[in-house]
Amino acid sequence: MFANAFKEALLLVLPDGTIRAGNQQAAAIIGVDDQAQLRHRDLNCIALQSASRVKDLLKLARRTSDETIGSIDLGEPAQAYRVIARRTMNADGRVFLLLRIEPQHIATRQFAALNDKFDQLNREIARRRSAEMQLRTERDVAEFGRDIGIALVQSRGLEEALAKCTDLMVDRLGAAFARIWLANEEQTELKLTVSSGLYTHLDGQHSRIRFGDYKIGRIAAAQQAHVTNRVLGDGEIHDQQWAKREGMIAFAGYPLIDEGKAVGVMAMFSRHPVSESVASLLESVANGIALRIRKQSIEDGLARQTEALREADRRKDEFLAMLSHELRNPLVPVRSGLDLLVLSETEHQDAIRMMQRQVEHLVRLIDDLLDVSRIMRGKVELRRQRVPVAQLVEHARDMLRHTVDQTGHQVTVRLPEQSVWVDADPVRLTQVIENLLKNACKYTDFGGEISVTVTKEDGDWVSISVEDNGVGIDQDLLPQVFDLFTQSNRTLERSQGGLGIGLTLVKNMVEMHGGTVSVASDGLGTGSTFTVRLPCCSAPSDSEALAVRPASRTTPIPLRVLAVDDNRAARLMMEKIFEKLGAQAVATAEDGPSALKKFSSFGPNLVLLDIGLPGMDGYELARRIRQSTTDHSFLLVALTGYGQQEDRLKSKVAGFDEHLVKPPSIDQLRELLSHPRFNRT
């Protein structure tokens, strides 16, 4: 119970006279049974005729920290009492008045002792309040340092990180406002980037500051911090009237230094002093912000480099596509002319076939160059099916039969007793084995031995090894054999060339199938062995196998062919080839308008359109041809030097039935003439 241990009557009242507490002695004087009945009563009403004296006493007491002595009439009948009042304050800073009430004849000696106790209490309260404020400040500073670190690391962009830093300077350190300026690349001007607190705008007089101007510009130019707790009278603070009006006491400004250059300035104004510990922490924060600026600069540089590389890669792809197109165009009449000579059974067939092989070699080089570019960009789509490995090996061997015959190599194929199947793209895996065989032929002397060995391994894997007794591989070159454009010095002794991309294609194609490829050689003169390992799959069941049905007897209809190409030599060769292959009639056109007229008057069954026509391109021409007739029994074929997947899709959307890449082989042209659309039962 409140102060019952004291003999004196005590009341604790608010400055307006409302009683908050009192002891039992005070309750007895006032005339209530229990001290709890004193709470919330108005002393002015209790004081009877002396109410005005009570008001004056309370008013005087709350204005001074000294004791205030007055008199008051209390009780029934009323008696005069002496009142000694003293102002006090609780932990929350709220003001109360402690009243000691005693008969007028009692000396104030006892109250002096009580007064000393309350003085001690007030001092203890003040000490605790100071300690609490210190702890709160230390906590805010610690949280400030922690949150600054989080902001600098986790923010998505530089401006977001800087804005969080200035917000924290206001929220945690109590800054009136905080700002950060960033320097331009020339180190001549600072631009206001973020601002928090009293001012949040980014325009105005201080939005751009030259190095050396105002306090901010001088901090950047001198690369020295400026901290003061006496803003008024500080010569660096030019607007003293503003500082006085806003009650500014402290200023702290720090240069943001990165590798000896000022990349910005961080500054804050405060209405309370900045301690040494806070100033030291702010210096560390400035260093952290400078590092974050460097990180952002590095990230921006990497982003620019990445974009530049992406743009260079895009241009490279465009260049390769254009290069292949330009290389393929002149090959059309060359290949077609050679095919025509073969069909004509003219003299010098050996020489003609030799030239055909060289044209095929050039076409394959172009294909490989485009393939490796597409693989590197992940634009090759595998068309998987279950296929026996033996079939892949046989197809690859057949494709190199002419090369093997020329070089006199002895090629041996060893297969397991039971058939081994893989889930793969047969065209791509045949290309893998063909490239390995071609590589073996290239680096094996005339009459050398080459072996292809297929082995079923444990764990549902199959290995395909291509071994030769050729010149071997230097040990230093082995780790780079599969790198793009890598060739050995051994090629200097040989007429065979190449772009150094065949083995790169092998590695990437095998890895796309979930396999691995390795090479082994004991050095120069010892031959080499390339081994491909692939996961096996089960053979297709009987229900999955395609039933073999006897072919229906068909009779080819007489074909009328329209070939459209702006290259005169290509048109001439196509005309001759189709006539030789048995077409009923062949017409040609050199551009879109003439092709539309020919199509209308000639009525072709088969139309071949060059995509790269002048004026109206092949895509537009195809659309107009489709729109010009309701009869869609004719076959519309795109003929172009562009053969990537997106090119084929574009052709399909334009209305083409087939897409041929220049130069078309005679077998491809023959297949067009025997297309199912042209057969009748």
3-class secondary structure for 223-241? CCCEEECCCCCCCCCCCHH
Give backbone dihedrals phi and psi of 661, rounded to 5 degrees, phi first: -95, 130
Instruction: Say if CB 410 and CB 447 are below 8 A apart.
Output: yes
Which band of pLDDT confidence, cut at 50, 70 and 90, is reported for residue 491? very low
Mean of the pLDDT values across residues 106-131? 66
Tokens 């090996």, residue located: 393
Distance of CA 645 to the CA centre of its chain: 26
- Of 54-58, 413-417, 630-634, give the range with the top mean pLDDT: 413-417
* CATH topology assigned to domain 382-535: Heat Shock Protein 90 (3.30.565)
pLDDT of 448 above 50:
yes
Q: Which CATH architecture has domain 9-129?
A: 2-Layer Sandwich (3.30)
Dihedral angle computed from the Cα positions of residues 23, 29, 34 and 40, in that order, rounded to the nearest 10 degrees: -70
The contacts of residue 669 (CB under 8 Å, 6+ apart) are 577, 578, 581
**pLDDT tens-place string over residues 321-373:** 777 777 777 888 888 888 888 777 767 777 777 787 777 767 777 777 776 66
Domains 9-129 and 155-274 share a fold: yes
pLDDT of 140 above 90:
no
**pLDDT (0 to 100) of residue 556:** 53
Burial of 615 (0-12, 13-18, 19+ CB in 10 A): exposed
Mean of the pLDDT values across residues 123-145? 70
Distance of CA 673 to the CA centre of its chain: 51
Q: How far apart are CA 148 and CA 126, in angstroms?
A: 32
**Reported pTM:** 0.49
Mean of the pLDDT values across residues 90-97? 77
State the first-to-last Cα distance of the chain, in angstroms, to the nearest integer: 118
Distance of CA 460 to the CA centre of its chain: 39
**pLDDT tens-place string over residues 278-301:** 898 899 899 999 999 998 888 888
**Alpha helices (H) in 381-425, listed in sequence order:** 389-399, 401-407
Q: What is the mean pLDDT of the chain?
A: 83
What stretch of H or E contains 214? helix 214-222
Give the DSSP letter string of 316-365: HHHHHHHHHHHHHHHHHHHHHHHHHHHHHT-S-HHHHHHHHHHHHHHHHH
**pLDDT (0 to 100) of residue 497:** 47
155-274: in CATH 3.30.360.10? no
pLDDT of 532 above 70:
yes
Distance of CA 557 to the CA centre of its chain: 58
What stretch of H or E contains 252? strand 250-258
Which parts of 536-584 are beta strand (E)?
555-556, 560-564
As beta bridge partners, residue 96 has 88
**pLDDT (0 to 100) of residue 529:** 95
3-class secondary structure for 83-123? EEEEEEECCCCCEEEEEEEEECCCCCHHHHHHHHHHHHHHH
Minimal CA–CA distance to 253: which of 275, 226, 229, 272?
A: 226
Q: What CATH number does domain 555-680 carry, 3.30.70.260, 3.40.50.720, 3.30.565.10, 3.40.50.2300?
A: 3.40.50.2300
**Alpha helices (H) in 489-606, listed in sequence order:** 502-512, 568-580, 592-602
**pLDDT (0 to 100) of residue 537:** 92
DSSP state of 472: -
What stretch of H or E contains 619? helix 618-627
Which band of pLDDT confidence, cut at 50, 70 and 90, is reported for residue 5? confident
The pairing of beta strand 606-610 with beta strand 19-22: unpaired
More confident residue, 484 or 481: 481
User: In one letter, which amino acid is 534?
Assistant: L
**pLDDT (0 to 100) of residue 115:** 65
**pLDDT (0 to 100) of residue 561:** 95
Give the DSSP letter string of 36-59: GGGTT-BHHHHTGGGHHHHHHHHH
| Helix-helix angle 109-154:158-171, to 10 degrees | 180
Minimal CA–CA distance to 30: which of 12, 48, 53, 7?
A: 48
Query: What is the Cβ-side half-sphere exposure of residue 91, based on CA atoms within 13 angstroms?
Result: 7
The contacts of residue 480 (CB under 8 Å, 6+ apart) are 486
**pLDDT (0 to 100) of residue 547:** 38
Structure tokens of 305?
């480099």
pLDDT of 549 above 50:
no
DSSP state of 274: P
Q: Is 208 helix (H, G, I), strand (E, B) or coil?
A: strand
The pairing of beta strand 250-258 with beta strand 261-270: antiparallel
Please state the domain extents for the chain. 9-129, 155-274, 382-535, 555-680
Dihedral angle computed from the Cα positions of residues 273, 277, 283 and 284, in that order, rounded to the nearest 10 degrees: -140
- Of 87-101, 251-265, 636-650, give the range with the top mean pLDDT: 251-265
**pLDDT (0 to 100) of residue 494:** 43
Tokens 């074909």, residue located: 559
Structure tokens of 82?
């002496």
Q: What is the CA radius of gyration of the chain?
A: 49
More confident residue, 8 or 565: 565
**pLDDT (0 to 100) of residue 111:** 54
